[in-house]
Each structure stands twice: as structure tokens, then as C-alpha cells.
Structure 1
Amino acid sequence: MDCSVWMTGNVATPVTFRSGESANGQKWSRAEFRLASTRRQRGQDGQWGDVGTTFVTVVAWRALADGIWASVTKGDPVIVSGRLATDQWVDRNGELQSRLTLAADAVGHDLTRGRTRFSKNPAPPSTAPADAATPPTEVRAGVDEGEAGPPNPWSGDADEPAPDEYVPFDAFEGASALG
């Protein structure tokens, strides 16, 4: 049975990164960092205070590891979702050791504590022979060649609507059902 969890906290250590190629030629990458998650609680005086900090080792593989290595640094506030596991090993003295790890499925910056900009991962190198390559073309659904198409409202370069273009929220069908 998996123990799926999500945690928020700060990256407590520099990210360590390793990559290589397996015996069968598959490329792999692994990133690891310690996450410090501090619980906050309201005291009897009504003030919020730190109660205690939990440290867990976050481990990620493949594309997620690459993204962590390129994007996350010590001190960053992050949200991590994944599966809890216990790593066990025998140390040099023959003693059984263990540590709690979080095998990450997703890692992102905590946007309640700051801002970030998203950029897509670079495309993997083409495996097609150079002479078979054709120049890439941009395809946008519903836009004829030479037309720019509508502005992307999330890009930051779309014009602000004029005051008479705003639509009140309750004008939408079903808005009253929202409360």
C-alpha cells in the first residue's frame, strides 16, 4: 500500500544531482534534497508560532529530477507530493539505519510565499537523420497562415479591457448557484 502525501516547506539543503546511463543504454537522473516543514499553531494569546520542524529527504527521478535541478535552490518554499517510504541500510559498524524519504511525483514552488515564471523543458534532441529533417512550423488551430490570432490573455501582452467590456459575475448563467 502506498502512503501518498503532500508537504509544504523550505528546501533545507542544496539539491544534489546525479545522472548517467544504465547498462541497457537508458539515460537516468536523480535529484535529492532535504525538506524542512515547520508546523505553525495559534497559541492561547492568539498569536501564531512555530511548533516544530519535520525534516524529510525528497528524492526524484528522470524529468522531475532534471526540473528540480534547474529550478529549485536551498531556501525555496516548495510543495511536494509523492509517496512516503523508509530507506534502510547497514552502516560500517553493522548497525541497521533508516530514514524517511518522500519519493516525489511532483514538486513546485509555493506560490503563497512568492512568485515564479514557468518555462517549458527543452525538446529532446531529434533522433532523425539530418537529411530527413524538415524545418518546424508553428501550427495554431483555427488561425490561417499570416494571421496572428487572438492575444494570449496570460502572456501579459494582451490589452486591458475597456471598462464597458467588463461583465459582472452574476451575468453568467448559473452564477447564483455559486453563492
Structure 2
Amino acid sequence: MADTITVTGVVATPPTKGTAAGTPVCNFRLASGLRRFDREQGRWIEYGTNWYSVAAYRYLASNVSESISKGDRIIVRGRLRIKEWENSGGKGMALDLDAESIGHDLTWGTSSFTRHSRREAETQTEEPEDIEEANDEFVVSEAAPPFDWHAAQPGVEESVV
């Protein structure tokens, strides 16, 4: 089981949209800068960057690919997977984030929102048993439960589209 975390950062690569086993997928890299306040200098100092490979699936992938671009400051909530790797150049760890929600970080600017109809979203939420990208970089082995629009939007009537 993976941990659910929230990360803020800058979209470092253009989001790429494709399909994995017939399911829409959007991938990009996220740079999350580390900062601390230096009292002696009286300013914030950058002291490193955490890099995440982010993958969004199904209707989230479609919305992300149309909404964010390289350089945007965003917030991502999702399941963290840490993978160790080794090749001829050395070894290290990769931080993969399977996104559950993504949005612009409004600390840095404004955004506008366009809601899709319930019918559109339902046609994009068909869950396959396994989602696997061709290069095996991102894998989700458990299908998420269907999204419950009424639980997420209390007070919204069913006739609203």
C-alpha cells in the first residue's frame, strides 16, 4: 500500500498525454523546491529540489493535459511510490506519484474553472483491472472505486449537468 501525500511544486516538463491499455494517461515531472529561512541573512534560501514523476489517469489525465503546462505552480495529491533503481551509472531512488487530484497553486496566481458535465465524467471513469504504461515506468495495480459525484458535491442536485 502506498502513502497518500500532498506536494506543491513547478511542472518541470510538458505534460504528455497517451494511453495505457486503452486508458488515458498524462505524465510529467514535478520539481518541489526545498527552502529554509536564514536568520543571519534575513532571507529564504533554496537548498535542494525533490523530483517526482507524476502520472494521472482517466478523466483526470484528460483534464490535466488541457489545464497545466510547463512552468505552472501546482498542488498534487496522490499515492507515493518509492522505487530503487540501479544501472551502470550508479544507483538511486525514484519518487513516483499516482495523482488523485491536481490543481493550480493559488498562492502564486489566479485560475478559472470549467466544470464538465456528469455524463462526460462518467463515460471516462471506466476502470480497467490493471493500468500499465508501455515502458513500465508507472503501474497501478488496484483500480480505484468509482467516483461518487453526490458524496463529493453535497447539495448538488442530480439534474445539474
User: RMSD of aligned C-alpha atoms?
Assistant: 2.9
Matched, 1:112 2:72: no
Identity of aligned residues (%): 36
Q: CA deviation digits over 1:75-97, x for unaligned, max 9?
A: 00000011111356787x7x988
Counterpart of 2:76?
80
CA distance in 1, matches of 2:45, 2:85: 36
Question: Which letter does structure 2 place at the counterpart of 1:101?
Answer: D
CA distance in 1, matches of 2:46, 2:58: 35
Counterpart of 1:17?
17
Instruction: Please state which structure has a larger fraction of its residues in strand.
Output: 2
Counterpart of 2:6?
6
Higher relative contact order (CA 8 A, sep 6+): 2
Q: CA deviation digits over 1:35-67, x for unaligned, max 9?
A: 000111111222112111111101111111111
Answer whether contact 2:54 2:98 (CA < 8 A) is retained. Answer: yes
Query: Which structure 1 residue ranges, 5 or more long, are not aligned?
Result: 128-139, 142-179
CA distance in 2, matches of 1:52, 1:88: 20
In the alignment of these two chains, the number of paired residues is 122
Query: Which structure 2 residue ranges, 5 or more long, are not aligned?
Result: 124-155
Aligned residue for 1:124, secondary structure, equals helix
TM-score by length of 2: 0.65
TM-score by length of 1: 0.59
